[in-house]
Each structure stands twice: as structure tokens, then as C-alpha cells.
Amino acid sequence: MLRTGAAMAAGCDFSGAATACCAPVLAGAIALSATSGTVAGGLLLGVAYVAGMMTPLIPLAVLYGKAKPRVRDPKLTLRLGEYSKRIGAIRLLGVVVFAGFGVLFVVLALTGNSESAPGFQKAMGTWMRDVAAAVDGVPNVVTLPALLALLAGFAYAVVRRGGERHERQQS
């Protein structure tokens, strides 16, 4: 039986642990959708999974949008020979963090340590499986209205935000 609650929970759990890469997200949504057996069921599970992934990211985006004007982000000029690039300090910090993770992944792969997971990662995986199993028992009559309300909220936020942007451009 299709359980949209478990799909939403899996999406929420995964978005908290996922990197900025969308390939694992797409693979997860496709794999989950393929297990339903029907096109309508696959579409429903895929939408539930993606909506679950978006749920924790929307409040973060709202907080970021409200905090960005208040945070001072000094601009730096990076030079390499004749080439120069102006970049904000916060963006440069993000570049350094992502590059650091890239180097870490390469080192782990080259040393043969990429197969084992640290204890916190195993504990997080166990917790995610437990949450999905618990939510899987919730009937669709409960989770479908929650999913529809979530999607309606997302749509309202996008339409409202687009209208605000359009009004500012006309002023």
C-alpha cells in the first residue's frame, strides 16, 4: 500500500543529511516512485518525497532572506596574475568549505576509508529508518491532506513572493 507519510519523512530526513548535489535526491525520488507499481502512485510518492525534502529547506531560505540584509559581507578582490575577481567573504567561506569537503572525500577514497561510516552517521541512518518506519503506519487519509496543505503553502509563498518582487520592480 502507498504510504505518503513515510515518503515525506524520508524526504525530510534525507534533506537534513544531503549535500548540495541533487543527483542523490533525484535517484532517491525515482527509486521510491518506481516501487509503487502504478504511474499515479509513483507520481504521488515522488511528489511526497520531494515535498518532504523541501520542508526543512523553506524555513532556512526564509531566515536567510531576512538575515542577508542585516549581515555585513565585506567584498574581497582575489588576484591571480592579470585576472581579478570580486567576491564576498561569506561566499569565499562557502567555497573554502566545499573545497575542503572535496579534498576530504578524495583523501578518504584514496586511503580506502570511504567504505566505513563514522558512528554519528550510522546513528543518524538508524534514526532515519526508525522515523520512516514509525510514520509508515500513519494512514494516507491523514498524510495526503498534510501533503496538499504543504504544497499549497509552498505555492502561496512563491506566488506572494513573485508579486512582491513585481511590485518592487514597478516602483
Query: Rounded mean pLDDT of 87-102?
Result: 88
Nearby residues of 150 by Cβ (< 8 Å), 6 or more positions away: 8, 51, 55
Helix (H, G, I), strand (E, B) or coil at 85: strand
Q: CB count, 10 Å around CB of 112?
A: 8
Domain boundaries, the chain: 4-170
pLDDT of res. 96? 92
Burial string for 41-63 (b: 16+ CB within 10 Å, else e) reads ebebbbbbbbbbbbbeeeeeeee
pTM for the full model? 0.52
Query: Rounded mean pLDDT of 132-156?
Result: 82
**Amino acid occupying residue 39:** V
C-alpha cell at 41: 502512485
The C-alpha atoms of residue 126 and residue 124 are separated, in whole angstroms, by: 5
Q: Is the per-residue pLDDT at 146 higher than 70?
A: yes
77 phi and psi angles, rounded to 5 deg: -115, 120
**pLDDT tens figures, 31-40:** 877 887 788 8
Q: CB count, 10 Å around CB of 7?
A: 30
135 with 36: CB under 8 angstroms?
A: no
**pLDDT tens figures, 41-92:** 888 877 887 777 777 777 787 788 788 788 888 899 989 889 998 988 888 9
28 with 14: CB under 8 angstroms?
A: yes
